[in-house]
Amino acid sequence: MNSLIWHIIKKDLRRFRALLAMWCAALVIRVVAAGLVGNDTGGRMEAGMVILFVLILFLNALMVTRVVAEDSPLKEAAFWRSRPITGRQMMTAKVFFLVVWTLILPALVVVAAGYAYGFTGWECVAVAAGQLIIHASIGALFLTTSILTQRVWAAVLGVLVLLVAVQISRGARVTPEEASPFESVSLGLSGVSVATAVGMVALGAAVTWVYRERRRPVAAAVLIAGAAGIYVAGEFWRVDFLGWVPALERLEARVDPRGAGKVRPLKTNASSSINGVNYRQLQAALEWTGSTPEELSLPYRVEGRVDLGNGTELMQSRKIRRSAPYDLGPALKELGVENLQSYVQGLNANHVTLAELTDREMGRLEAASSMWTGKVFTVVGGLEVRARVPVKPGARVEAGAYRIDVVEVDFERGRLEIRIVERQPAMPKWGDGALDSGYHILGRDFALINTRRKEAMVTTGGGNSCSTQDSFLKINRTQLQFGPTTAGQILDREELAEWLADAELVKFRFREDRRVVTEATVALAETL
Amino acid sequence: MNVIETQELRRTFGSKDAVRSLDLRVPAGSVCALLGPNGAGKTTTIKMLMNLIRPSGGQARVLGVDSRRLGAVEKARIGYVSENHEMPEWMTVRAFLDYCREFYPTWDRELEAKLLTRFALPEERSLKHLSRGMKMKAALLAALAYRPELLVLDEPFSGLDPAVREDFVRGLFEATGDGEWSILVSSHDIDEVERFVDWIAFIDDGRLVISESLESLQARFRRVEVTLADQMMIRAEELPPAWRDLQQSGKLVRFIDTAHMEADGGRLYAERFPGAAMTAGPLSLRDIYLTVARMTRV
């Protein structure tokens, strides 16, 4: 990098020092505030975090727009245009500046904060990747529009129009998030964001060219075509993020993914019309049962190609449907609970809905024939104790980034309710399954264990649950409800109080071992 | 050797031809004034020369390089000051000069200091708080301090009061007094320009009307006053086409000869107006400009 590029970077540093100071302050305040949210019971901090996150996105957009507008490539009157600096040098300086401040810095801040909060290495990587994608998406959108429009307000307006158009087109579908190949709900812009981030390289090349050649009509065409291409890619290019994660390869498998299955007839799920073209979402369902007596098996994401006779269709699981709660039995036994007379074991059968096929025509889609092949991701494992905490208001347990606060214990009305606040690292949606070792479902994986009486109470449900998720930290509040013990019903308050005196609240987690099986073949038992 | 040379240079904006087949040349070492009425295509021409916009056709060579390929090396040899050019207004004068200095290896700090004093620029004041005149002086300083081979000034005097113009021109003289400078200046302020230019290019409606030295131009244009011996009506169409702006009041006839030949010694006038008393005096550049402007509109 030559001295002129550094010269421009230094100039921009001086120019935007106030904005950068605000930006840094917002980034730091957010991660610090995220750590304090767990202590806040009123929800004001959570609301503040959301506002702060929006502010950060706004500052990000503002920074990109202003940095570009400062030395616009298309403005004839721009000062740099008559100076001895090439478009390539100017572009390098701008991109370097923006990458350092809007991509690397937020990622580093989050990694540092994550490390301080006790995140694991993978969790740090995941949250940093989430930051990179969010800011790169915002940056790409605003970089494109600010170059074309050359005005901050016009860029903001342009992006808003773009987003509204995208959301309208996505909203025309019945289940936009689920239809997204990226399922990146937490990224706000769904698949478009990720695709935009992926398209940064292409856009960067286009922008460099614009800086060098400075032909506005061609530039507009290139950038609009680029943005459209990225959008199309976001819609139709299925990015197999899970397949990219090396951790998937090394984890052991306990369950053979082969299993019996059956195909249901294809049926219309929803239909809508965009610009006169009818879209029809057809759902083919493969119900797959996999079970083992001791281990839980959870088919996580399944995709494969279905032989339709006249061609193949890509099928991909769109949601996990768990038919029963975890079977806590083996885990309780391991913790010394012997009296399991009243314990109703959860089903360990799991179902997965396979495939969502979208067809632009209203014509009937042929039913799948007899088999599918492809890539299967399975998540297997068992329950582990994540945390133990006494059943007393104010009790707290911390394990790494994970923290539980027992806020209130109430058994006045004949049943036991415990209100808790959980804090855990938040992941981008696509990272939830791949990288978050603490993946869990609220209220399903708690138990009260009385080791003296060798009994336990398992949750019968969760109430008043809510979750606040920043791109960095997730806060769950829930009210746990407990029913009878594993030995039987407790009939009065005194006995319950006595029972609780020796009990502790145990938070389990599902230990996720993952396996990728390529080219799995499942013979379908029945075709309906 | 010409520092600027264009061949059939053309630029259109939509259906409008801003510059049409312009063949302009600016000899090295000359100070060339690019004159023309509003909308004549002066600024568009300069923008094409500076590679700020691309020509629709034709070619321009600046310092021997195709203007479309004008890169960092050539721009380090060119100074550019324009009334429309954006400046980093958030910078102080000092920061602005520091910023510009890094771009030019040939930056002359002594000259910078000299011009700073000459222009009386407040170093710690930001550009946005400077008057228009001060801002133009700061821009000129930043364009002169690296001693460019070619200085391009686009309407530098526009909106400046006489005192500031004087400062501006003196500063220009001071800086360009030594060394080989070529200057292209577009301006409406003909009186100001006349003080220091030696080459005139006149464009109108995107076309080059005149391109010659000031000396030759002033020698060619003469205001002729004829006192006729007898009262008679002179009609313009009876005069040679080069005699323009005919005015008559009684026996007194005035016109401008746009093709005067000194060697001719007034023979043509005597032949056309026998027995009349005649005087032929030089025209100011302003009058030449106005004459040419009228000629092109006819």
Cα–Cα distance between B245 and B243 in angstroms, integer? 7
> B53: distance to nearest CA of chain A, Å?
7
Q: Are A400 and A474 within one domain?
A: yes
> A81: distance to nearest CA of chain B, Å?
7
Cα–Cα distance between B185 and B201 in angstroms, integer? 10
Q: Are A276 and A365 within one domain?
A: yes
What local confidence, expressed as pLDDT, does residue A331 receive? 80
List the structure tokens of A37: 């949210």
Comparing CB atoms, the residue among A79, A82, A215 nearest residue B75 is A82
For chain A, residues with pLDDT lower than 50 are: 169-193, 238-302, 318-324, 346-378, 429-443, 514-528
DSSP for A309-366, written as a single string = SSSEEEEE--EEE--S----HHHHHHTT----TT--PPP---EEE---EEESS-SPPP
Using a CB-CB distance cutoff of 8 angstroms, which residues of chain A are in contact with residue B82?
77, 82
Residue of A nearest to B90 (CA): A15
Q: Which of A80, A77, A76 is nearest to B85 (CA)?
A: A77
Residue linked to tokens 């990098």:
A1
Residue B3: Cβ-neighbour burial (10 angstroms; 0-12, 13-18, 19+): buried
pLDDT tens over chain B, length 298 residues: 889 999 999 999 888 889 998 999 998 888 999 998 888 899 999 999 999 888 999 999 999 999 998 888 999 999 999 988 889 999 999 999 999 999 999 999 998 999 899 888 999 999 999 998 899 999 999 998 999 999 999 988 877 788 888 888 888 877 777 767 899 999 887 888 888 888 999 998 888 988 888 888 888 888 888 888 888 888 888 888 888 888 888 889 898 988 888 777 678 888 888 888 888 888 888 888 888 888 776 5
> Number of folded domains in chain A?
3
What local confidence, expressed as pLDDT, does residue B80 receive? 94
Question: Roughly what angle, to the nearest 10 degrees, separates helices A3-15 and A44-70?
Answer: 130
| A14 has a chain B CB within 8 A of its CB | yes
Using a CB-CB distance cutoff of 8 angstroms, which residues of chain B are in contact with residue A86?
71-72
Q: Are A60 and A80 within one domain?
A: yes
Q: Are A198 and A260 within one domain?
A: no
HSE-CB at A229 with a 13 A cutoff on CA atoms is 13
Comparing CB atoms, the residue among A4, A15, A78 nearest residue B103 is A4
Q: In the β-sheet with A286-289, what is the strand arrangement from edge to edge?
A: A286-289, A260-263, A526-527
Which ipTM was obtained for this model? 0.85
What local confidence, expressed as pLDDT, does residue A400 receive? 62
Q: Which of B6, B24, B35, B32 is nearest to B286 (CA)?
A: B35
Q: Where are the domains of chain B?
A: 2-214, 222-282
Query: CB A82 to CB B80 under 8 A?
Result: yes
Comparing CB atoms, the residue among B76, B85, B99 nearest residue A11 is B99
Beta carbons within 8 Å of A301's beta carbon, 6+ residues apart: A242, A316, A317, A377, A433
Per the DSSP assignment, residues forming a β-bridge with B31 are B183
DSSP for B191-259, written as a single string = HHHHTT--EEEEEETTEEEEEEEHHHHHHH-EEEEEE-SS-----GGGS-TTEEEEEEETTEEEEEETT
Q: Are A292 and A186 within one domain?
A: no
Range of the domain at A310: 253-317+354-380+515-527
Amino acid residing at B190: I
Q: In the β-sheet with A357-359, what is the strand arrangement from edge to edge?
A: A267-274, A277-283, A357-359
What local confidence, expressed as pLDDT, does residue A399 receive? 66
Query: CB A82 to CB B78 under 8 A?
Result: yes
Cα–Cα distance between A297 and A313 in angstroms, integer? 26
HSE-CB at A221 with a 13 A cutoff on CA atoms is 4
List the structure tokens of A385: 């104790």
Domain boundaries B2-214, CATH class: alpha beta
Q: Are A153 and A11 within one domain?
A: yes
What local confidence, expressed as pLDDT, does residue A464 receive? 55
Beta carbons within 8 Å of B27's beta carbon, 6+ residues apart: B1, B2, B3, B182, B199
> Other CB atoms closer than 10 Å to residue A305's CB: what's the count?
15
Residue at A160 is within a domain: yes
Query: CB A78 to CB B86 under 8 A?
Result: yes
Per the DSSP assignment, residues forming a β-bridge with A126 are none
Torsion of CA B114, B120, B121, B122, to 10 degrees: 120
* Residue A397: strand, helix, or coil: strand
Cα of A27 vs its chain's centroid, Å = 20
Query: CB A75 to CB B103 under 8 A?
Result: no
Per the DSSP assignment, residues forming a β-bridge with B183 are B31, B151
List the structure tokens of A196: 């935009």
Q: Which of B246, B209, B253 is nearest to B230 (CA)?
A: B253
List the structure tokens of A394: 């104010």
Q: Are A500 and A369 within one domain?
A: no
> B224: distance to nearest CA of chain A, Å?
45
Q: In the β-sheet with B222-227, what is the strand arrangement from edge to edge?
A: B243-249, B252-257, B222-227, B277-282
Cα–Cα distance between A201 and B136 in angstroms, integer? 41
List the structure tokens of B124: 């710690």
Beta carbons within 8 Å of A106's beta carbon, 6+ residues apart: A27, A56, A131, A132, A135
Comparing CB atoms, the residue among B73, B86, B100 nearest residue A77 is B86
| A511 has a chain B CB within 8 A of its CB | no
Interface size, chain A vs chain B, as Cβ–Cβ contacts under 8 Å: 53
Cα–Cα distance between A233 and A196 in angstroms, integer? 9
Query: CB A86 to CB B99 under 8 A?
Result: no
Cα–Cα distance between B36 and B61 in angstroms, integer? 21
- Given a contact cutoff of 8 angstroms between Cβ atoms, the answer to whether A144 and A162 are in contact is no
Q: Are A56 and A185 within one domain?
A: yes
The length of chain B, given as a count of residues: 298
Cα–Cα distance between A62 and A40 in angstroms, integer? 31
pLDDT tens profile A109-166? 988 988 887 777 777 777 787 777 777 777 777 777 777 776 666 666 666 666 655 5
* Residue B298: strand, helix, or coil: coil
Query: CB A79 to CB B71 under 8 A?
Result: no
Using a CB-CB distance cutoff of 8 angstroms, which residues of chain B are in contact with residue A11?
88, 99
Residue at A178 is within a domain: yes
- Given a contact cutoff of 8 angstroms between Cβ atoms, the answer to whether B239 and B272 are in contact is yes
DSSP letter, residue A103: I
Residue at A340 is within a domain: no
H or E stretch at A425: strand A416-425
Question: E-strand spans in A151-266?
Answer: 260-263
Comparing CB atoms, the residue among B73, B75, B95 nearest residue A83 is B75
Q: Are A31 and A117 within one domain?
A: yes
